[in-house]
Structure 1
Amino acid sequence: MSSDRDKAQAKQGRIAAAVIAGTGALWVGAQWLGAKYGWSNRTFVFFDLAALAAFIWALVVTYQIWRKRQDN
């Protein structure tokens, strides 16, 4: 049973890592495209807030994984 729990935590960790990497790449791409095409500041703020939300979600998931490992 412990093995199943470890696999689930590993899967959560991979998802969190993918979200962090993907968010960073998409945010940099959005900043570059916005500068190239002259997007409004409002559009930049939208992408900034979306990236912030994704990073906070990943931080919460990572914290939950850490807490579960502390309980073992």
Structure 2
Amino acid sequence: MSTDREHAIARKGRHIGLVIAVTMVAWLALTLFIGPALELPGRFALLFDFAALAGLIYAVINIFQLWRMRQDSQR
């Protein structure tokens, strides 16, 4: 496996981890602390849930791409 490919795989893995971590922290902060502090209606909680779901779907797609990159590099 080439060094450039190893670096690309590692960079993509860090990116995925960062996306998941930021998504979950933002979701928890918005639904548990910021939303109630601003007295937002309950429908905003659903909006925050959908935004978090979109972020996690993006992460799953990238995990699949990472898996494919690793499969191709082993051949």
| TM-score, L = length of structure 2 | 0.85
Give CA-to-partner distance per residue, 1:4-30, whole Å, 9 cap, x none. Answer: 011011111101100100111000000
**Structure 2 letter corresponding to 1:56:** I
Tell me how many residue pairs correspond in the alignment. Answer: 72
Cα RMSD (Å) of the superposition? 1.4
1:43 aligns with 44
Give CA-to-partner distance per residue, 1:7-66, whole Å, 9 cap, x none. Answer: 011111101100100111000000121123321122111111111000110111011111
2:68 aligns with 67
Whether 1:13 aligns to 2:5 is: no
- Structure 1 runs of 4+ off > 4 angstroms? none
- % identical equivalent positions: 40
| TM-score, L = length of structure 1 | 0.88
